[in-house]
């Protein structure tokens, strides 16, 4: 995990989890494409939370893939949350994950520090558990032209998460694709404002607040 240096302990944190592959044991490079896709989101969130005591950091993966029962990305996310608690104390955390990173964020949301998850075109297999989402707020954003992960799977996961006690919603972005390049400003703006709202440093976007209610 990588966090910026700060003069004072943060009051909250945002951890970003980029995408990956279903299988892959190679180590991702510093500037691999899935990480590059998340840089504008990091920058937008950092600008929105400047001077609020919120820090942003990255979950660093040891492998490119999820790798079946190994669940490598989720294991790395768990380790990052443990390291964050060691460095900054028990600060509340919002996880922002794309694709495989969204799957990992959802899987580790039961960690005591996690308050909310924002999933961007998340990978949501029907067999993944949802009990860990109870008591959390979950916002899934999915483009309707995604050909890699299925927006209907996000809707179904939200349905199960609500039954498990989560405050959850799935929003479909018309014209949005899996790489979040089409309608990129809308992706960045909606994610930024949602994170700020979940942290309590700004209002939730109206569409998100309505969907969560």
Using alpha carbons, select from 1, 40, 30 the residue that is nearest to residue 17.
1
State how far the Cα of 145 lies from the Cα of 187, in Å rounded to an integer: 14
Specify the pTM. Answer: 0.94
The reply to whether 5 falls in a domain is no
Across the chain, what does the average pLDDT equal?
Answer: 94
Domains: count for the chain = 1
Read off φ and ψ for residue 129, nearest 5 degrees: -75, 160
**What are 15's two structure tokens?**
């951890």
In a domain, 159, yes or no: yes
Taking only the tens place, the pLDDT of each residue in 73-106 is 999 999 999 999 998 888 999 999 999 999 999 9
Q: What are the pLDDT digits (tens) for 158-205? A: 999 999 999 999 999 999 999 999 999 999 999 999 999 999 999 999
Of all residues in the chain, what percent carry a pLDDT higher than 90? 87
Residue with tokens 């308050």: 115
199 lies in some domain: yes
- For residue 2, being part of any structural domain is answered with no
3 domain-assigned: no
Domain with 208 in it: what CATH number?
A: 3.40.50.1820
Q: How confident is the model at residue 10 (pLDDT cuts 50, 70, 90)?
A: confident
Residue 29 located in a structural domain: yes
Residue 161 in domain: yes
In a domain, 34, yes or no: yes
Distance of CA 60 to the CA centre of its chain: 14
Question: CA-to-CA distance for 131 and 109, rounded, in angstroms?
Answer: 10
Residue 32 pLDDT: 85
pLDDT at 8 (0 to 100)? 66
| Structural domain span for residue 196 | 12-212
């Amino acid at each position: 995990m990588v966090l910026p240096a700060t003069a004072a302990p943060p009051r909250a944190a945002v951890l970003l989890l980029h995408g990956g592959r279903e299988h892959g044991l190679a180590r991702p490079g510093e500037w691999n494409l899935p990480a590059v896709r998340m840089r504008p989101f990091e920058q937008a969130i950092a600008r929105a939370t400047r001077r609020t005591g919120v820090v942003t950091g990255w979950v660093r993966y040891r492998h490119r893939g999820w790798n079946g029962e190994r669940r490598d990305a989720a294991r790395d996310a768990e380790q990052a949350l443990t390291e964050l608690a060691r460095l900054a104390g028990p600060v509340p955390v919002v996880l922002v994950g794309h694709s495989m990173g969204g799957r990992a964020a959802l899987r580790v949301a039961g960690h005591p520090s996690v308050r909310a998850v924002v999933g961007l075109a998340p990978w949501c297999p029907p067999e993944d558990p949802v009990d860990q989402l109870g008591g959390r707020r979950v916002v899934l954003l999915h483009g309707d032209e995604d050909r890699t992960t299925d927006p209907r799977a996000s809707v179904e996961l939200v349905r199960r998460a609500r039954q498990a006690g989560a405050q959850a919603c799935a929003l479909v972005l018309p014209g949005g694709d899996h790489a979040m390049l089409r309608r990129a400003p809308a992706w960045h703006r909606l994610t930024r404002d949602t994170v700020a709202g979940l942290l309590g440093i700004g209002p939730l976007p109206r569409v998100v607040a309505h969907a969560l209610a």
